[in-house]
Amino acid sequence: MTDSIWWGTFPEAGNGTPAGLGEGLWRESAGAPVLALELPAPAFVVRHPSLPLLYVITESDDSAVHAIDVSDPEAPVLVATVPTGGRAGCHLLLAPDARALYACHYMSGDVAVVALGEDGLPAAATPDQVFGHEGSGPNADRQEAPHAHFAGFAPGQRHLLVCDLGTDELRRYAVGADGLLAGDGIAATLPAGAGPRHFAVRGDRLYVACELDNQLRVLRWDGASATAEVIQELQSTAAANRTGEAGLQDGHILIHGDVLLIAVRGADVISLFDLSPEGDARYRTCFDVGHWPRHFAIGDDRLLVACERGHEVRSYALADVLALPPEHEVGEVAQVTHASAPVPSPACACPA
């Protein structure tokens, strides 16, 4: 597994089209991706920290979590499947101690918890817990119901927070010693119509990518009350819309050292923000990353980008990205040398 990059893919016609038409888990080695295992719309892939296992969630009407043995990376084997009962599974988080998986479902809006044994495999044939939610937002097309899009740990890791794009909330769950959750209310409510999608953590700050209004919001976490308040709002990019029919849409967000990176679909860029010691964000520049950057990750000093609608995966030298100078004029899109390989509708990058 050491030398592989794993890519989850949607159906070739794009996300939202019928699954089961040849998409699946792709393995890239030496810059050559190949379809390694057919699965219906594996939207997110994570790896076990010490065992040769990958975990995949499928974005379909009958979503499931799959455990895949990659002892032989050239011949991955599906070893366990847990139907989650949710619709359109879109994100999967592995607990730091690898005792549980947390699965978010966009369409049904719920969060499922799958406990794992010492062997890394699911402990039961069904989820151990499922948490639903209620509510909506002002965007009639996108916020008609809850849409759980991402789960991550709050500072201190005592709480799991879920970005609910449909209700403009960060849902809060207390994490037990066994990895199971207890519903614990709402940690933060963002401005109406924001559509929180993903977040990243640094110190006592939460950096939230808001898909619907194209804003990066910085929140200060208060450990005593387990709540967060917005203290800074910035436009996620100064670049113009190039391919987004419905405008710009913020996507994945990641922090590397003192630099925050956020993908913006439509502008088809990744923006760089410099973070001060106190946690304030300052926009630096953005660079072209291909058509519709669905997800990106860092592995082996490379920045790996899944260009969903461009049907390609890209690899950039991380040092080249981090060395980009501030933009010379507002809205400038920088170009960075990269490698590219064809992959149909890539949804997620998982470096091993």
pLDDT in tens, 108-138: 999 999 999 999 999 999 999 999 999 999 9
Residue 291 lies in a domain: yes
What pLDDT is recorded for position 113?
Answer: 98
Question: How many Cα atoms occupy the beta-carbon half-sphere of 151 within 13 Å?
Answer: 32
Q: How confident is the model at residue 8 (pLDDT cuts 50, 70, 90)?
A: very high
Asked if 86 contacts 43 with a C-beta cutoff of 8 angstroms, the reply is no
Asked if 203 contacts 154 with a C-beta cutoff of 8 angstroms, the reply is no
Asked if 204 contacts 279 with a C-beta cutoff of 8 angstroms, the reply is yes
Tell me if residue 319 falls in helix, strand or coil.
Answer: helix
pTM: 0.97
Tell me if residue 320 falls in helix, strand or coil.
Answer: helix
DSSP conformational letter for 122 = B
Model pLDDT for residues 144-198, shown as the tens digit of each residue: 999 999 999 999 999 999 999 999 999 999 999 999 999 999 999 999 999 999 9
pLDDT of 69 > 80? The answer is yes
pLDDT of 27 > 70? The answer is yes
Question: Which residue segment(s) compose the domain that 284 sits in?
Answer: 242-352
Residue 283 lies in a domain: yes
Written as six digits, the tokens of 103 are: 């699965």
Model pLDDT for residues 236-284, shown as the tens digit of each residue: 999 999 999 889 999 999 999 999 999 999 999 999 999 999 999 999 9
Residue 274 lies in a domain: yes
Residue 107 lies in a domain: no
Tell me if residue 61 falls in helix, strand or coil.
Answer: coil
What pLDDT is recorded for position 2?
Answer: 42
Residue 66 lies in a domain: no
Model pLDDT for residues 206-244, shown as the tens digit of each residue: 999 999 999 999 999 999 999 999 999 999 999 999 999
* CATH code (residue 340): 2.40.10.480
* Alpha carbon separation from 273 to 88, 107, 141, 190, 218 (Å, rounded): 31, 31, 30, 21, 12
Q: Name the domain count of the chain.
A: 1
Q: β-strand 111-115 against 100-105: which pairing, if any? A: antiparallel
Please provide the average confidence, as pLDDT, over all residues in the chain. Answer: 96
Residue 126 lies in a domain: no
Mean pLDDT confidence for 22-36: 93
Asked if 31 contacts 338 with a C-beta cutoff of 8 angstroms, the reply is no
Residue 319 lies in a domain: yes
Residue 215 lies in a domain: no
